[in-house]
Amino acid sequence: MPGKHQHFQEPEVGCCGKYFLFGFNIVFWVLGALFLAIGLWAWGEKGVLSNISALTDLGGLDPVWLFVVVGGIMSVLGFAGCIGALRENTFLLKFFSVFLGLIFFLELATGILAFVFKDWIRDQLNFFINNNVKAYRDDIDLQNLIDFAQEYWSCCGARGPNDWNLNIYFNCTDLNPSRERCGVPFSCCVRDPAEDVLNTQCGYDVRLKLIFGICLAQNLVSDIKAVKANWIKHDDGYKLLK
């Protein structure tokens, strides 16, 4: 009676998860590089790259920082996920999942701290906004950002229109020769609310996407480890036969 042969299915890296992670992250990587390039180009146009000290000359926030920082983080994260999935590199995949986890917990911590210290944060936010109101005319990027924020949230200053007295062009003192004296930027004007429909659900499921990415990367790491362990087992068996 012939002996029964047992067939064991060798572990394999899941192609669907691997190439989905690769495809998603290559898009993420390209977008990050584009953001970073736009930020560096904007700094080049403003002469910041040839004079680094100009970064500290602006009294308010330089919006280009957002492009540079966000673009840099997206590029690093996209590179780790893309190359890690393509080359089945467990170190890069672990780095990718840990980075996503860190972002997730930072979001949670920010939400909790914002709730616990809401009064202090409100004061700091008002202070920050007022500093940027003072520097409204100092940088065109900052001016566009403030105009966008005031139009989007239908506000004018941190507490009200009187906050614009902090700006040398809009303050109401008799010594102010500006044509804009006692005025406010055009973005303070109220528009017809029927012009645009605000999507209040655009932030839904954002954290679920982060968790999905972490699980996908960890699953790919487990598959790669199983395949490598199988290779080591076969290699040890081959050496024993020799």
Over residues 116-128, the pLDDT tens digits come to: 988 888 888 888 8
The structure tokens listed for 10 are: 């060798």
pLDDT at residue 196 is higher than 70: no
Q: Which pLDDT does position 12 carry in this prediction?
A: 56
Supply the pLDDT for residue 198: 46
pLDDT band at 203 (very low <50, low <70, confident <90, very high): very low
Range of weakest confidence among 92-96, 139-143, 192-196, 199-203: 199-203
Residues 6+ apart with CB under 8 A from 44: 50
Q: Hey, what amino acid is at 32?
A: G
Please report the beta strands in the chain, taking only residues with DSSP state E, as ranges in sequence order. none
Report the share of the chain in percent with pLDDT over 90. 11
Q: How far is CA 215 from the centre of its chain?
A: 20
pLDDT at 33 over 90: yes
Choose the weakest-confidence range: 1-5, 122-126, 131-135.
Answer: 1-5
Half-sphere exposure in the Cβ direction for 20 (13 Å, CA):
12
21: helix, coil or strand?
helix
Indicate whether 47 pLDDT > 90.
Answer: no
pLDDT in the model for residue 34: 95
Q: Is the pLDDT of residue 50 over 80?
A: no
Token code pair at residue 102: 């860190």
Segment of 39-53, 104-118, 170-184, 193-207 carrying the highest mean pLDDT? 104-118
Q: What pLDDT sits at residue 72?
A: 93
- φ, ψ of residue 209 to 5 degrees: the values are -65, -40
Task: Summarize the confidence of residues 217-240 as an average pLDDT.
Answer: 72
- Mean pLDDT over the full length of the chain: 79
Is the pLDDT at 31 greater than 90? The verdict is yes
Classify the phi-psi angles of 196: left when phi > 0, otherwise alpha if psi is within -120 to 50, otherwise beta.
beta
Lowest model confidence (mean pLDDT) among 52-56, 97-101, 216-220? 52-56
Q: Are 185 and 147 in contact (CB under 8 A)?
A: yes
pTM reported for the whole predicted model: 0.64
Reported confidence tier of residue 1, pLDDT bands at 50, 70, 90: very low
Cβ-contact 210, 104 below 8 angstroms: yes
Is residue 71 within 8 Å of 33, Cβ to Cβ? yes
